[in-house]
Amino acid sequence: MKLDAIDQTLLNELRENARCPVALLARKVGLSRTAVQARIARLERDRVITGYGARTGAAHEQSQVAAHVMLTVGPKLSGPVEAALRRIPEVRSLLSISGAFDMIAIVQAGSIEGLDALINRIGLIEGVERTHTSVVLSKRFER
C-alpha cells in the first residue's frame, strides 16, 4: 500500500506517541478529527498499523539484559525455528538477514543468568545449528 505524506506523518506521530489525541494529530496534519480518525481506521484495516504497544522506562530497561542472538539455521528449517522462537516471550523480535548468519533474535532477560539460560534454550531448538550472541551495552535511541 502506497502511503501519502499525511499517512506517513500520522504513522510517525503514532510511533512516537501512540496515545496522542486525535485532535492534536488533526492539527499537525491540517485535517479534521473525523478525517484523521478515518485515515487511522483505514491504516488499521489495511494492516499498516497492526497494533499499539507500550515502551518501558529507563529504570525497567536498566534492570534487563538485552542481546542480539545471531542464528545459523539448517536448510528448510527456518519456519519451524521461527515458530519455536515465537513461543519464547523473551524473544522480542526476529529478523531474517543476509551474510554469515540467517536470523537475528532480539532478546531480553532479567539477568545474565537468565540470558545464559535463554541462549541455551535457543541453541536446543531443532534446526538451530549455531548461535553467536552480542550483549547490548546501552541503547542510544529508539524510534
If asked whether residues 131 and 76 sit together in one domain, one would say yes
Question: Cα(52)–Cα(57) distance, rounded to whole angstroms?
Answer: 16
What pTM was computed for the model?
0.68
Answer whether residue 24 is part of any domain.
Answer: yes
Closest CA to 29 of 41, 43, 12: 12
If asked whether residues 76 and 123 sit together in one domain, one would say yes
If asked whether residues 122 and 84 sit together in one domain, one would say yes
pLDDT at 138: 87
**CATH assignment of the domain containing 124:** 3.30.70.920
pLDDT at 56: 76
Question: Cα(143)–Cα(141) distance, rounded to whole angstroms?
Answer: 7
If asked whether residues 27 and 88 sit together in one domain, one would say no
Closest CA to 125 of 109, 106, 105: 105
pLDDT above 80 for 68 = yes
If asked whether residues 66 and 39 sit together in one domain, one would say no
If asked whether residues 114 and 85 sit together in one domain, one would say yes
Answer whether residue 53 is part of any domain.
Answer: no
- Domain span at residue 121 reads 58-135
pLDDT, one tens digit per residue, over 100-125 is 999 999 999 999 999 999 999 999 99
Q: Which long-range contacts (CB under 8 A, 24 or more apart) does 79-85 make?
A: 80/126, 80/127, 81/125, 81/126, 81/127, 81/128, 84/125, 84/126, 84/127, 85/122, 85/125
Q: Most distant CA pair in the chain: distance in Å?
A: 54
Average predicted confidence (pLDDT) for the chain? 93
pLDDT above 80 for 97 = yes
If asked whether residues 62 and 33 sit together in one domain, one would say no
Q: What is the mean pLDDT of residues 60-74?
A: 90
pLDDT at 101: 98
pLDDT band at residue 62 under the 50/70/90 scheme: confident
Strand order in the sheet with 65-73: 91-96, 103-109, 65-73, 128-135
pLDDT, one tens digit per residue, over 16-50 is 899 999 999 999 999 999 999 999 999 999 999 99
Answer whether residue 50 is part of any domain.
Answer: no
If asked whether residues 129 and 62 sit together in one domain, one would say yes
